[in-house]
Amino acid sequence: MVEKIKAIDAYTVFDSRGFPTIECLMYLDGGHQGRAMVPSGASTGTFEALELRDRDPSKFGGKSVYQAIRNIKEVIQPVLLRNEVKSQHELDDLLIELDGTENKSRLGANAILAVSMAYASSIASYRGLSLFESLPAKRDNYILPLPEIQIFGGGAHSAGRIDIQDFMIICNGAGTLMECYEMTFKVYQEAGKILKRENRLAGLADEGGYWPVFDSNEAVFQILTEAILQAGLTPGREVSISLDIAASEFYDKNQYHLKLDNRVLSSHEFSALLGSWLEDYAICSIEDPFSEHDISSWRQFTSAWSDKIQIIGDDLFVTHRKRLENGIRDRLANSILIKLNQIGTVSETLACIEDAINAGWRPVISARSGETEDTFISHLAVATGAGQLKVGSFARSERMAKWNELLRIERKLSDQAKFANDYIQFPWQ
């Protein structure tokens, strides 16, 4: 028997872009409490749950979340106080029923998620456990995830200078989490030196990666490969390249519009371009290589490359079990990106992760571009044994908070901690 919910509070805080978001506090009647802050995305999939904003230009340029906060206090709180919630699943089912829409548009996915996460946090406090120990997830071992870390940001994350949204690295040769961090540190520092030397640094992107100035998308591969080599590491063996194409952002009228390269490509031509990059560079993972509406290209690309690299669906699946089920059936990818606020409850997120793992897919737990200092997803990655975590770059405190939380979890687990590279078979292996 768990403690009954005593009260819920919610108020405005600000994310890493300075936009309003929600912080929720949940109080249990035994004095335990939980806290959660919800993130926000810049490039969002068509099928994501709805983030409720007020759209009043006079209040934070339309970005305020006062209605979502009122929904927590005036709609959600009375229902939860009347009901004796006994589990995370029961709470989330109540929230889903109360909202009553397919995309959580009545109460707002941001309102619902804030309450769902705060409840998970409060139950961990009640049990005297860390969140990763308390979350109701199925796992065989506690596995520390392999980080996927942004070096260069583009697309919707850096005012669109380069078309591809994220150029990242995966330290597939690292034997420990700290070794992975050290490899990342070296590559990140070397990349910065190269950009400054060549006068190509415009600033930092939303997620802490460098915002570079290039004449072509392919030039970024060359600089990133150079940075890996200058860090004293071997591309492909110790450190590999990971991409988030975010292709829906430049897909229009059945064509892919690469503004930096001044090219408009058919689906077939764009697929051939991606294939040439995979042949020429040490790429082990690619996310959203096509628009979520270009299903035939997903199917053909996965058929050709799924035994060689990780192919991740983000906008395609939006952490939705039914969309994932269709993707597994139709063999559209071999991995899914997991974002709590795409679906809006902790329980639905856990179920989607479990479905992916049961199908032999690798889930990648992900932050959003508009992040907070909340470290929930670090615990989620360990609790579920997902094996991978993507939170942005190796800079900016809202990103480093998640990487540092993994170190704290590792210290608590001590000898129980397993590192993903040693315990999980990834698609690129």
pLDDT interval class at 43 (50, 70, 90): low
| 76, 91, 262, 416 from 82: Cα distances, Å | 10, 12, 59, 41
| 7, 31, 93, 116, 387 from 77: Cα distances, Å | 7, 17, 14, 12, 35
pLDDT at position 34 is: 98
| Least confident span in 34-43, 76-85, 185-194, 392-401 | 34-43
Let me know how long the chain is: 429
pLDDT cut 90: percent of the chain above it: 88
Residue 155 has pLDDT above 60, yes or no: yes
For residue 274, give the nearest of 319, 312, 305, 228 by alpha carbon.
Answer: 305
pLDDT interval class at 170 (50, 70, 90): very high
**Rounded Cα–Cα distance for residues 263 and 254 (Å):** 14
Look up 412 and say whether it is catalytic.
Answer: no
The mean per-residue pLDDT over the stretch 166-193 comes to: 98
Give residue-wise pLDDT tens across range 335-348: 999 999 999 999 99
pLDDT at position 214 is: 87
Look up 253 and say whether it is catalytic.
Answer: no
Give residue-wise pLDDT tens across range 96-140: 999 999 999 999 999 999 999 999 999 999 999 999 999 988 777
The mean per-residue pLDDT over the stretch 39-45 comes to: 73
The mean per-residue pLDDT over the stretch 234-241 comes to: 98
Catalytic residue among 23, 48, 190, 207: 207
Helix H or strand E segment including 22: strand 20-28
pLDDT interval class at 203 (50, 70, 90): confident
Averaged confidence pLDDT in the chain: 95
DSSP code of residue 239 = B
The mean per-residue pLDDT over the stretch 393-420 comes to: 96
pLDDT at position 140 is: 72
Of the chain, the end-to-end C-alpha distance in Å amounts to 45
Give residue-wise pLDDT tens across range 254-270: 999 999 888 999 999 99
Give residue-wise pLDDT tens across range 298-326: 999 999 999 999 999 999 999 999 999 99
Catalytic residue among 63, 339, 390, 402: 339
Q: Where are the domains of the chain?
A: 5-128, 143-423
Report how far Cα 411 is from the mean position of its chain's Cα atoms: 24
Residue 161 has pLDDT above 90, yes or no: no
**Rounded Cα–Cα distance for residues 249 and 95 (Å):** 31
pLDDT at position 156 is: 57
pLDDT interval class at 205 (50, 70, 90): confident
Residue 157 has pLDDT above 70, yes or no: no
pLDDT cut 70: percent of the chain above it: 98
pLDDT interval class at 159 (50, 70, 90): low
- Give residues with Cβ within 8 angstroms of 162, minimum separation 6: 152, 154, 155, 212, 214, 217, 220, 260
Domain 5-128 architecture: 2-Layer Sandwich (3.30)
The mean per-residue pLDDT over the stretch 386-406 comes to: 97
**Rounded Cα–Cα distance for residues 401 and 367 (Å):** 12
Fold of 143-423: TIM Barrel (3.20.20)
* Structure token digits, residue 197: 């030397």
The mean per-residue pLDDT over the stretch 405-419 comes to: 95
pLDDT at position 41 is: 75
